[in-house]
Amino acid sequence: MKIDLTGKVALVTASTGGIGFAIARGLAESGAEVIVNGRSTESVNKGIQQLQQVVPGVQVRAAVADLSAPDGVDAVLRAASRVDILVNNAGIYGQKDFYSTDDETWETYWQTNVMSGVRLSRALLPGMVQKGWGRVVFISSESACNIPADMIHYGVTKTAQLALARGLAKFVAGSGVTVNSVLPGPTMSDGFASMMKDEMEKTGKSLEQLAKEFVMANRPSSVIQRAATVEEVANMVVYVCSTQASATSGAALRVDGGVVDDII
Ligand code: NAD
């Protein structure tokens, strides 16, 4: 199978680093024009430079905006009027005790992890439906199924993304536009690395080693018994954005290394 996305325009939110950058790279390597989004001009320019280094000749555009509020989404839409592929990757996470998670924190998580995708889908789906082709992907998490007791606020937003993706898939049924969720498990992204930074300095262990220990201690049901790489997650996303994935819609696709102990 050869994935060819030549002529398609892909908006990947929060794509200056982590899983988002790997997705932008994978889509660009398949020929898509990519819109890189991040919160500062500096981070977006850096992301674009990195992309140009690894994918020479890539067609790339910048969309600087914080997606946690409606005006940020509007700013992205101004930079991205025509989009064939929307990957809702922007998401924040962190451990927090339920009792000390205040309303403001809940609201920030809801706005960033759920409403950014609601707003972008509402604005960009009509163009895709009109053309009869489009791809929308929500980067959810295995935490959508295995709600972590120390990150309930996060888990709730990730489950909401599954409901949103499934509902939207049905909303655009028969249009040629597919809507899916991808559920990574523990993945060695930039965010994950900064969560592990203190531990790396304290123990002198590599990120891979600490990530493996994290998985064995906190996600012992993992079948691969290690964390995934960002490229492993991106591969699934690129496939589901391909023309070949036309019969996959309304699905929740796991790249969790088998952490969720369920057959289906
Ligand atoms: P990351 O922290 O490595 O990168 C996230 C990027 O998002 C950063 O570049 C950050 O600047 C940007 N960002 C944050 N808030 C933003 C906002 N309001 N507007 C625009 N950009 C913003 O993250 P990651 O680990 O690559 O995670 C990406 C997605 O994957 C998230 O939705 C996360 O929930 C999901 N996920 C990650 C893991 C994991 O283990 N890393 C596991 C499951 C799901």
81-90 pLDDT, tens digit per residue, is: 799 999 999 9
Residue 117 — very low, low, confident or very high, per pLDDT cuts 50/70/90?
very high
Residue 230 — very low, low, confident or very high, per pLDDT cuts 50/70/90?
very high
Ligand 1 atom showing the smallest separation from residue 228 Cα: 40
Residue 32 has pLDDT above 90, yes or no: yes
Active-site choice (93, 109, 154, 239): 154
Residue 264 has pLDDT above 90, yes or no: no
Closest of 151, 97, 87 to residue 120, by C-alpha: 87
Clarify whether residues 90 and 197 are in a common domain. Answer: no
Report pTM: 0.97
Clarify whether residues 196 and 87 are in a common domain. Answer: no
Closest of 237, 240, 260 to residue 249, by C-alpha: 240
Instruction: Return the best residue to mutate from 189, 196, 233, 254 for the ligand 1 pocket (most ligand atoms within 8 A of CB).
Output: 189
Distance 92 CA to ligand 1 centre (A): 6
Distance 21 CA to ligand 1 centre (A): 10
Distance 174 CA to ligand 1 centre (A): 31
Q: What CATH code is carried by the domain that includes residue 18? A: 3.40.50.720
Distance 90 CA to ligand 1 centre (A): 5
Q: Quick check: is 262 in a domain?
A: no
Q: Which residue range(s) make up the domain with 201?
A: 188-227
Q: At what angle do helices 190-203 and 18-29 cross, to 10 degrees?
A: 130
* Residue 205 near ligand 1, beta carbon < 6 Å: no
Q: Quick check: is 263 in a domain?
A: no
Clarify whether residues 122 and 193 are in a common domain. Answer: no
Q: Quick check: is 87 in a domain?
A: yes
* Residue 189 near ligand 1, beta carbon < 6 Å: yes
Residue 93 appears among annotated catalytic residues: no
Residue 116 has pLDDT above 90, yes or no: yes
Clarify whether residues 106 and 220 are in a common domain. Answer: no
Q: Quick check: is 18 in a domain?
A: yes
Q: Give the separation between CA 84 and CA 101, rounded to whole angstroms.
A: 37
Clarify whether residues 196 and 166 are in a common domain. Answer: no
Residue 98 has pLDDT above 90, yes or no: yes
Question: What's the whole-number average pLDDT of the chain?
Answer: 97
Clarify whether residues 84 and 137 are in a common domain. Answer: yes
Closest protein CA for atom 12 of ligand 1? 14
Q: Quick check: is 247 in a domain?
A: yes
